[in-house]
Amino acid sequence: MILLASILAGGLAGFFYARWQKHSWSIPPFRYLWLIFIAFLPQFFAFYLPATRIWYSDSLAALSLVSSQILILIFCWLNRRLAGIWILAFGTALNLLVIVANDGFMPISPGTAGHLVAQDTLQTIQEGGRFGYGKDILLLPENTSLVWLSDRFLLPGWCPYQVAFSGGDILIAAGMFWLMLTQGQPLKAK
């Protein structure tokens, strides 16, 4: 959700900034865009598609998340000349680091998770257990490797949609915003 918001905000800001500068705006000239779709497929089947996610074992779901992050890093390397891609890649690398350090899942503390679900639901999840069918596992901060990279931030309480996110996610969103913002080109003379 945060990534989608940064794409939309960066695209809109880039479009209006380009117009103000009397430039045209276009979608970034990504190379190997198909790699992003390939990278998203394991996550889609393991976490988002209800018909398939129930069939994924924890180890297969973890492998799906790790492989997805690696493919995104490869995509970033192949598009390294685009503005903002290094910020996006650094955020992805931080997420991959904390995911690998915590058995292939993104850790979330009970304190953070308590803002997302009811307490009675939270009490049914054992420490180290998956938080629903998602990419997060519930871990106490003292049992979390690289806790400062975990899903520990929340959107402001007034936001209707609540989600936890990591510092890596913030960098991914900032990189995508910058990438979308900087796509203005001088208008060609007619």
DSSP 44: I
Residue 19 domain boundaries: 2-186
Write down the pTM of the prediction.
0.91
As for how many domains the chain has, the answer is 1
Q: Which helix (H) or strand (E) holds 172?
A: helix 167-181
CB-CB contact of 106 with 46 (8 Å): no
pLDDT tens across the length of the chain (190 residues): 678 889 999 999 999 998 898 888 898 999 999 999 999 999 999 999 988 988 899 999 999 999 999 999 999 999 999 999 999 999 999 999 999 999 999 999 999 999 998 888 888 899 999 987 889 999 999 999 999 999 999 999 898 888 999 999 999 999 999 999 998 766 555 4
DSSP H helices, 32-161, are: 34-43, 50-53, 58-78, 85-101, 110-113, 119-122
